[in-house]
Structure 1
Amino acid sequence: MYVQIALDGPAGTLHVSGHGLPTVELTRAPGSPADAHTPIGTRDARLLTLTVDGAPAALRPARGRLSRRSYRVDVTVGTTRYRLVPCSYGESRLTRDGRPAGILESSGDGRVDADWDTAADPRDQAVGTALAAAFGTGAQPWWQTAADFLAELIP
């Protein structure tokens, strides 16, 4: 399935569409500053608006700190709950209502590679692709992050 991804990080806009896919749009509040570590420019849910096929969706990105789990992104579309959470250095797992939907990889450049579960439907693919493009995928384990931090403190 062909997915079109239009990410403009500095402007804070993301548009995901494709044949047979619902359109997903994510926008950062106009005039809000962009951080350099998040492709969409922020992990602050108050500054982000998400729609899936024109309907508003609830978006809750975690703060992104020490653990891989802290980089999770939760979304509720209607009664369906999605979670994108890092599962390796470069990949993140998408779940729908707690069940696997796919493994995604994106370095934040507006491109997403995905390996979809056989039960994944077009909405799963559109939402997962949008989350991976907007927030990137993967994270290092907590112990490596802690070691890197300690190494910076040693002269």
Structure 2
Amino acid sequence: MTELPPAPSGTQDTLFGEMHIRIEGQERVTVSGENVPTTVLERDPASEADAQIAIGTRDAAHLTLTVDGVRVPLWPARGRLRRRTYRVETEYDGARYALVPDSVPSSRLTRDGTRLGDFSSDGDETVVAEWVQGHTAPTARPADASIGYALAAAFGTGGQPAWMMLADMVSAAIP
């Protein structure tokens, strides 16, 4: 009997309705919905997987991102001491996107440098988006949502500030 992949998780987005997020091991993240393009992030299964990253790697050479069937570039930063080193960037339809940690639990999604919203995820199928709203806020587009959900699910969100990580390392070193 063939084992079926798990059913996608359903999340209700305030702007785009039902979002479906499916994570297949550390090899594939798929985001779809009635009102958004399908976004797929895949890791080369021959590459070594890092258990701390939902998609298994931050090495762009082993990752493929497609939005609505179109392959797009992906630039995940290496993930070191500072929060900003956990950013992930891509380009789609003439726009440059970045998902950058800005607090312990969440990351900010920008399009061409303009903040669209905040995403929270532990690198699983549960992703929460809080869109910037108001009369001066940019209008979020369907691709914005699909890309934001996929990056948040694949890489997780948030990060400790450098001073907290240093404090943790010092306290761990003291007997």
When normalised by structure 2's length, the TM-score is: 0.85
Q: Distance in 2 between matches of 1:3 and 1:117?
A: 18
Query: Pairwise mapping of residues 50-69 of structure 1 onto structure 2 (< 5 A)?
Result: 50-69=65-84
Letter in structure 2 aligned against 1:140:
Q
**1:11-67 C-alpha deviation (Å, 9 max, x unpaired):** x10111000100100000022121111111111111000000011111000111111
Q: Which runs of 5+ in 2 are unaligned?
A: 1-16, 134-138
Q: Does 1:4 align with 2:24?
A: no
- SS of the aligned residue for 2:18 comes to coil
SS of the counterpart of 2:22?
A: strand
SS of match in other structure, 1:120: coil
Q: Which runs of 5+ in 1 are unaligned?
A: none
From 50, 59, 70, the counterpart of 1:35? 50
Q: Look at both structures and tell me which one has the larger radius of gyration over its CA atoms.
A: 2
Deviations 1:93-112 (A, max 9, x none): 00000001110000112110
Q: Alignment RMSD, CA only?
A: 1.0
Shift of 1:92: 0.5
TM score, norm. by length of structure 1: 0.95
| Residues matched between the structures, number | 154
Distance, in Å, in 2 between the alignment partners of 1:26 and 1:18 is 16
Shift of 1:9: 3.2
Residues of 1 paired with 2:126 and 2:49: CA distance? 19
Aligned-pair identity in percent equals 51
Given that 1:62 and 1:71 are in contact with CA atoms closer than 8 Å, whether structure 2 keeps it comes out as yes
